[in-house]
């Protein structure tokens, strides 16, 4: 059973009942809820309140995706009856609009902490002991409980010239749009940025060390997305590794992929994954041994091997998703300060890749379902969305539902097509509720819509 000492039980021998290191989504939620339960809370953030998602991740990236979607629509305005003369794209305008909204959101996060009387230290903090935190200013404070919510940081490979490459952190601050962009990686970050800058007019080359991308998604859906991406002009260089990068006097990058000719680009984005942000955190001062990837091992109640120190979010390397970090932070605060012990259910978590077009999925992929259940049924709809009729790209959507053979209980739902993530969110509720395909069959279609394909699967 989790230790659920309230602030009153913990006494007042410490400066704070809770000290949170990291003001990202998980840390802010934990701070707010703990304070609402009556705890004396402080949080330290060395960069900006809001963390990866708000400052340099999913929020600004989704705004760039919207910009890319508009670019796609603007590519064929005549089919909508519009004549637009002199249309041009200005990267600094989009970049600065996104940065302005990030500033707005950071302010809202700061207001949330202030309104809940959470003290914020705008500096780096490290663990000095089981109940002690040292701030970059040199001050040391004590807390009954310490929560680590420092998230992840982009991983970088080791090759000559890697210092000329950038990560997703820097993509939002580019002085100018790269005319030629190389993206290295096969995960969602790589595919999203490749799609954005391809739509905005950059020549994009994607380099991956294997022939598989987006490994956690259904293979058939991914194959469809790859075909569409190549049809839109993204060059795929599979089974390739960068050997070196050289920068010439004009600022161009010459990338050696181990082949005869080097690839010349203006920017190289490294997007090969993210690693827990624990370097120099002082875990050893509390007897905590990080895992092989640098992650902080925790139990189901987010407690580390040190009974007074906890961790939530990406730094634990359980599920690297913002909504998961938020739930973990909330569950931690309720458990430790609200006398409401609870854990997070990690099953059937929906996720999406905001590629061009986007893909989304929840539950088991077809391959996973066959491995776990043996006999399964797959229902699908392969169709051309009405919206795509206006486009010169003959792109088709694909929806899949995987069910257990006998009961037809839904095991997984996977989609590619316009607005797929928006549609999947509701479908994920059905899977989580344990519904069968019959529940979809019994539902009248909403016509004409892409979502209706979910109740017309055959």
Provide the whole-model pTM. 0.94
CATH number of the domain that residue 248 is part of? 3.50.50.60
**1 part of a folded domain:** no
pLDDT per residue as tens digits for the range 347-371: 999 999 999 999 999 999 999 999 9
Asked whether residue 141 falls in the same domain as residue 19, the answer is yes
C-beta atoms surrounding 320 within 10 Å: 19
What pLDDT, on a 0 to 100 scale, did the predictor assign at position 259?
A: 82
pLDDT per residue as tens digits for the range 161-199: 999 999 999 999 999 999 999 999 999 999 999 999 999
Asked whether residue 446 falls in the same domain as residue 308, the answer is no
As for how many domains the chain has, the answer is 3
Return the structure tokens found at 320. Answer: 């690297």
Q: Is 26 marked as binding a ligand?
A: no
- Of the candidates 216, 240, 272, which is a domain's last residue? 272
Q: Is 191 marked as binding a ligand?
A: yes
- d(CA 205, CA 184) in angstroms, rounded, equals 8
**232 part of a folded domain:** yes
- Does the bond joining 357 to the residue before it have cis omega, within 30 degrees of 0? yes
Q: Is 273 marked as binding a ligand?
A: yes
Q: Is 359 marked as binding a ligand?
A: no
**182 part of a folded domain:** yes
**97 part of a folded domain:** yes
Q: Is 410 marked as binding a ligand?
A: no
What pLDDT, on a 0 to 100 scale, did the predictor assign at position 12?
A: 67
What are residue 145's DSSP bridge partners?
18
**410 part of a folded domain:** yes
Asked whether residue 38 falls in the same domain as residue 149, the answer is yes
pLDDT per residue as tens digits for the range 427-452: 999 999 999 999 999 999 999 999 99
What pLDDT, on a 0 to 100 scale, did the predictor assign at position 394?
A: 79
- The answer to whether residue 8 scores a pLDDT higher than 80 is no
Asked whether residue 450 falls in the same domain as residue 409, the answer is yes
Asked whether residue 331 falls in the same domain as residue 439, the answer is no
pLDDT per residue as tens digits for the range 24-62: 999 999 999 999 999 999 999 999 999 889 999 999 999
What pLDDT, on a 0 to 100 scale, did the predictor assign at position 6?
A: 45
**352 part of a folded domain:** no
Q: Is 62 marked as binding a ligand?
A: yes
67: left (phi over 0), alpha (psi -120 to 50) or beta: alpha
Confidence of residue 261 (pLDDT cuts 50, 70, 90): confident
Asked whether residue 78 falls in the same domain as residue 214, the answer is no
pLDDT per residue as tens digits for the range 275-332: 999 999 999 999 999 999 999 999 999 999 999 999 999 999 999 999 999 999 999 9
pLDDT per residue as tens digits for the range 200-244: 999 999 999 999 999 999 999 999 999 999 999 999 999 999 999
Asked whether residue 175 falls in the same domain as residue 244, the answer is yes
What pLDDT, on a 0 to 100 scale, did the predictor assign at position 234?
A: 97
CATH number of the domain that residue 449 is part of? 3.30.390.30
Q: What mean pLDDT do residues 379-390 have?
A: 94
Q: Is 314 marked as binding a ligand?
A: yes
Q: Is 185 marked as binding a ligand?
A: yes
**What are 238-243's contacts with CB under 8 Å, separation 24+?**
238/208, 238/210, 238/211, 239/208, 239/209, 239/210, 239/211, 240/207, 240/208, 240/209, 241/207, 241/209, 242/157, 242/159, 242/184, 242/207, 242/268, 243/159, 243/160
Asked whether residue 115 falls in the same domain as residue 199, the answer is no
- The residue with greater pLDDT, 261 or 383, is 383
- The answer to whether residue 10 scores a pLDDT higher than 50 is no
Alpha-carbon distances, residue 224 vs 4, 370, 378, 395, 398 (angstroms): 49, 20, 17, 9, 8
DSSP one-letter string for 8-76: HHH-SSSSEEEEEE--SHHHHHHHHHHHHTT--EEEE-SS-TTHHHHHHSHHHHHHHHHHHHHHHHHTS
Q: Which domain holds residue 424?
A: 357-455
Q: Is 86 marked as binding a ligand?
A: no
Q: Which residues are catalytic?
A: 447
Confidence of residue 393 (pLDDT cuts 50, 70, 90): confident
Asked whether residue 136 falls in the same domain as residue 93, the answer is yes
CB distance 153 to 238 below 8 Å: no
- Of the candidates 230, 249, 272, which is a domain's last residue? 272
Asked whether residue 170 falls in the same domain as residue 257, the answer is yes
Q: What mean pLDDT do residues 253-267 have?
A: 93
Q: Is 192 marked as binding a ligand?
A: yes
- d(CA 273, CA 276) in angstroms, rounded, equals 10
Asked whether residue 149 falls in the same domain as residue 18, the answer is yes
**412 part of a folded domain:** yes
Confidence of residue 392 (pLDDT cuts 50, 70, 90): confident
**446 part of a folded domain:** yes
Contacts of 255 (CB under 8 A, 6+ apart): 182, 242, 244, 245, 262, 263, 264, 265, 268
What pLDDT, on a 0 to 100 scale, did the predictor assign at position 369?
A: 98
What pLDDT, on a 0 to 100 scale, did the predictor assign at position 366?
A: 98
C-beta atoms surrounding 458 within 10 Å: 5
- Of the candidates 229, 248, 272, which is a domain's last residue? 272
Asked whether residue 147 falls in the same domain as residue 280, the answer is yes
Starting at the earlier edge strand, list the strands of the sheet with 263-265.
244-247, 253-256, 263-265
């Amino acid at each position: 059973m989790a230790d659920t000492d309230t602030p009153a039980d913990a006494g007042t021998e410490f400066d704070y009942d809770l000290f949170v290191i990291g003001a990202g989504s998980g840390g802010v939620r934990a701070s707010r809820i703990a304070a609402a339960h009556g705890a004396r809370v402080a949080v330290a953030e060395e960069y900006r309140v809001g963390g990866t998602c708000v400052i340099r991740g999913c929020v600004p990236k989704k705004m760039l995706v919207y910009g890319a979607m508009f670019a796609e629509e603007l590519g064929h305005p005549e089919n909508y009856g519009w004549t637009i003369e002199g249309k041009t794209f200005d990267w600094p305008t989009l970049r600065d609009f996104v940065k302005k909204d990030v500033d707005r959101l950071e302010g809202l996060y700061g207001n949330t902490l202030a309104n809940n009387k959470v003290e914020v230290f705008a500096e780096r903090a490290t663990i000095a002991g089981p109940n002690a935190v040292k701030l970059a200013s040199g001050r040391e404070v004590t807390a009954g409980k310490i929560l680590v919510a420092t998230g992840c940081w982009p991983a970088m490979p080791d090759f000559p010239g890697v210092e000329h490459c950038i990560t997703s952190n820097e993509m939002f601050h580019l002085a100018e749009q790269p005319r030629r962009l190389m993206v290295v990686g096969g995960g969602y970050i790589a595919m999203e940025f490749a799609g954005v800058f391809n739509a905005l007019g950059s020549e994009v080359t994607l380099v991956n060390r294997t022939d598989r991308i987006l490994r956690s998604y259904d293979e058939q859906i991914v194959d469809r997305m790859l075909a569409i991406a190549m049809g839109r002009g993204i060059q795929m260089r599979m089974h390739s590794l960068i050997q070196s990068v050289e920068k010439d006097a004009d600022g161009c990058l010459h990338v050696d992929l181990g082949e005869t000719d080097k690839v010349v680009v203006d920017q190289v984005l490294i997007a090969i994954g993210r690693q827990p942000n624990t370097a120099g955190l002082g875990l050893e001062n509390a007897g905590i041994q990080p895992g092989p990837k640098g992650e902080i091992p925790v139990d189901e109640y987010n407690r580390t091997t040190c009974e007074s120190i906890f961790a939530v979010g990406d730094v634990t390397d359980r599920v690297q998703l913002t909504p998961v970090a938020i739930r973990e932070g909330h569950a931690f605060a309720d458990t430790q300060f609200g006398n409401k012990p609870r854990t997070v259910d990690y099953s059937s978590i929906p996720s999406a890749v905001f590629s061009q077009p986007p893909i989304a999925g929840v539950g088991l992929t077809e391959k996973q379902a066959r491995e776990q259940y043996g006999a399964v049924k797959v229902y699908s709809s392969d169709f051309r969305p009405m919206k795509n009729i206006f486009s010169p790209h003959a792109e088709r959507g694909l929806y899949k539902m995987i069910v257990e053979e006998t009961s037809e209980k839904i095991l997984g739902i996977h989609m590619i097509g316009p607005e797929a993530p928006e549609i999947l969110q509701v479908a994920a509720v059905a899977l989580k509720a344990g519904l069968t395909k019959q529940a979809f069959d019994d539902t009248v279609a909403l016509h004409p819509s892409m979502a209706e394909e979910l109740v017309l699967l055959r």
